[in-house]
Amino acid sequence: MAPLHRRAAFTLIELLVVVAIIAILIGLLLPAVQKVREAAARTQCANNLKQVALACHAYEAANGLLPPGGMASFSAAAGTTDATKGSWVGSLAFVLPYVEQDALYKMTPVDWNPRSPVGTPWWSFPTAQQAAQVKVRAFRCPAGNLDAIEASSAALVYAAVDDASAPESYLWSTYHFDGDPIKMRLTSYLAVSGVFGTAEPATQGVLANGTAVALAALTAGDGASNTLLFGESLNKSAGPVPDYGFSWIGASPAPACYGLPARGTELWGDWGSNHTGTVPFAFGDGSVRHLRTFGSEEADPRMAVFRALAGYRDGHQTDVGSIVN
Question: What is the pLDDT at residue 158?
Answer: 41
- Cα–Cα distance, 114 to 91 (Å, whole number): 10
Question: What is the pLDDT at residue 10?
Answer: 65
pLDDT band at 173, cuts 50/70/90? Answer: very low
Question: What is the pLDDT at residue 281?
Answer: 97
The pLDDT tens digits for 141-156 are: 999 888 877 776 443 4
pLDDT mean across residues, the chain: 80
By the 10 Å C-beta count (0-12 exposed, 13-18 middle, 19+ buried), 243 is classed as middle
User: CA-CA-CA-CA torsion for 81, 82, 87, 92, nearest 10 degrees?
Assistant: 20
Question: What is the pLDDT at residue 170?
Answer: 32
The pLDDT tens digits for 154-170 are: 434 444 344 333 322 23
The highest-confidence range among 150-164, 213-227, 308-322, by mean pLDDT, is: 213-227
Question: What is the pLDDT at residue 4?
Answer: 55
pLDDT of 49 strictly over 50? yes
pLDDT of 96 strictly over 80? yes
Question: What is the pLDDT at residue 179?
Answer: 46
Question: What is the pLDDT at residue 19?
Answer: 85
Question: What is the pLDDT at residue 289?
Answer: 95
Question: What is the pLDDT at residue 3?
Answer: 58
Q: Phi and psi of 159, rounded to 5°? A: -150, 145
What's the average model confidence in pLDDT over 53-66?
Answer: 95
pLDDT band at 315, cuts 50/70/90? Answer: confident
pLDDT of 232 strictly over 90? yes
Asked whether the beta carbons of 279 and 231 are under 8 A apart, the reply is yes
What's the average model confidence in pLDDT over 184-193?
Answer: 90
Among 71, 307, 66, 91, smallest CA distance to 173 is for: 71
- Bigger pLDDT: 152 vs 136: 136
Question: What is the pLDDT at residue 107?
Answer: 95
The pLDDT tens digits for 244-294 are: 678 899 888 888 888 888 877 777 778 989 998 899 999 999 999 999 999
What percentage of residues in the chain have a pLDDT greater than 90? 31
SS3 assignment for the chain = CCCCCCCCCCCHHHHHHHHHHHHHHHHHHHHHHHHHHHHHHHHHHHHHHHHHHHHHHHHHHHHCCCCCCECCCEECCCCEECCCCCCCCEHHHHCHHHHCCHHHHHCCCCCCCCCCCCCCCHHHCHHHHHHHCCCCHHHCCCCCCHHHHHHCCCCCEEEEEECCCCCCCEEEEECCCCCCCCCCCECCEEEECECCHHHCHHHECCCCECCCCCHHHHHHCCCHHHCEEEEECCCCCCCCCCCCEEECCCCCCECCCCCECCCCCCCCCCCCCCCCCEEEEEECCCCEEEEECCECCCCCHHHHHHHHHHCCCCCCCCCHHHCEC
What's the average model confidence in pLDDT over 28-57?
Answer: 87
Question: What is the pLDDT at residue 321?
Answer: 81
pLDDT band at 79, cuts 50/70/90? Answer: very low
The pLDDT tens digits for 289-307 are: 999 999 888 888 899 999 9
What percentage of residues in the chain have a pLDDT greater than 70? 78
The highest-confidence range among 5-14, 64-73, 86-95, by mean pLDDT, is: 86-95
Q: Supply angle C-alpha 198, 248, 272, rounded to 5.
A: 70
